[in-house]
Amino acid sequence: MAVQLPISDAQYSKQVRKLSEASVHKHWEAYVDISWDDADLQVSLDDPRWRLVADDPLGSHPWYLAQPSKVQSRIALTRLASNMRVGVQFENLLSRALLTLAVKQPNGADTFRYAYHEVIEEGHHTLMFQEVINRSHLPIRGASRLNWYLMKLGQMIGTHVRPEALFFGVLGGEEPIDYFQRKALRHPETLHPLLEKIFRIHISEEARHVSFAQTYLRHCVPRLGTLRRRWLAFTTPLVTAYLAHQMMDPTKDLEKRCGVPHHVIVEAYYKNPVWQAELAESVRKIRDLAVELGIAGPLARRIWKRLGIWAPAAARA
């Protein structure tokens, strides 16, 4: 059902209070709800249960299929752990932004309480991700130094100058992960049980985070002046494409730590139209929100298309 824009202050408060209540009644803790010492949940490099998740195109590349089982497991765990490390970095920056947003709120503001709930949840996600990385004993690095500084710069601008861009950045990081984790859970038999558990927890809590970002934007964007909306229309596809690639592209760890040839990475991901279409699909809800908020006019659409993240309507149905 279409949302009537702009949403009022009362509607905003009601939805944010609802999300805060949900955080109280449905939440998970990294060291309470996961039995890390269960024999079934152990992380071992040569465990054949580590497989690239369904729809990860490297998993069907002839080079990967020709590797011995132990090498395939190492590649799968490296791919997973290195992207979790990028997730840790993203959630770190997101938590800093939410804490800053919270402390700027007046007494009694619903946003203050919700922001703290989200920070607490992201804290537990980070603990889960980092625990997997630690137990893999892999020298994982995550985002390159350049990308880490770019993400930090974007976070600072969003936090202190352009909160509307910050929340499109939140969606740009969270929606692609959510999309691919949901797809992976359609084939739970192919997932290591630890991964299945973490994905289920993450998806449940991220639904609230996505809902808050959407609510914030529906409340805030219609009230912006013309210039600021134009600026947002221009920057939203850039931020979305950049973060979707940061979260979903393989990191350099695959080449450096596992010896995956560069041309294999290029064929599997960067020159693979199926993977590129998947990436575009993973940000569909962000695109739809930009359209709904009136910041995806003809010029902005050209930017979305040029960046390869605008799927035709038929593919979006």
Which CB, 56 or 178, lies closer to Fe ion?
Answer: 178
* Mutual angle of helices 163-184 and 226-248, in 10-degree steps: 30
CA angle at 9 for the pair 6 and 13, rounded to the nearest 5°:
120
- 85 lies in the binding site for Fe ion (CB under 5 A): no
Q: Which is nearer to Fe ion, 113 or 257 (CB)?
A: 113
Of the residues 51, 124, 192, 209, which one makes contact with Fe ion according to CB under 5 A: 209
Which residues from 63-82 bind Fe ion, rule CB under 5 A? none
- Which is nearer to Fe ion, 51 or 209 (by Cβ)? 209
x/- track of binding to Fe ion for residues 166-205 (CB under 5 A): ----------------------------------------
Span of 68-76, 120-128, 129-137, 305-313 interacting with Fe ion by CB under 5 A: 120-128
Q: Nearest-CA neighbor of 251 among 122, 80, 129?
A: 80
86-115 residues near Fe ion, rule: CB under 5 A: none
Binding mask 148-167 for Fe ion (x = CB under 5 A): --------------------
Q: Residue 125 or 287: which CB sits closer to Fe ion?
A: 125
Given candidates 125, 229, 257, 287, which one binds Fe ion under the rule CB under 5 A?
125
Beta-carbon-side half-sphere exposure of residue 106 (alpha carbons within 13 Å): 0
Of 58 and 171, the one with the shorter C-beta distance to Fe ion is: 171
Whole-number Cα distances in Å, 22 to 25, 126, 207: 5, 20, 11
> Which range of residues in 11-19, 65-73, 125-133, 227-235 is near Fe ion by CB under 5 A?
125-133
Least Cβ distance, residue 29 to Fe ion (angstroms): 14
| Interatomic CA distance for residues 14 and 114, integer angstroms | 12
Whole-angstrom Cα distance, residue 15 to residue 11? Answer: 6
- Residue with smaller CB distance to Fe ion, 167 or 304: 167
Q: How many CB atoms lie within 10 A of CB 313?
A: 6
- Decide if 147 contacts 89 (C-beta within 8 A): no
- The residue (of 98 and 233) whose beta carbon lies closer to Fe ion is 98
Question: Between helices 163-184 and 145-160, what is the axis angle to 10°?
Answer: 130
DSSP 6-72: SPPHHHHHHHHHHHHHHHHHS---TTTSS-TT-GGG---TT-TT--PPTT-GGGGSHHHHTS-HHHH
- Select from 54-62, 95-103, 119-127, 191-199 the region that touches Fe ion (CB under 5 A): 119-127
Chain residues binding Fe ion by CB under 5 A are: 125, 206, 209
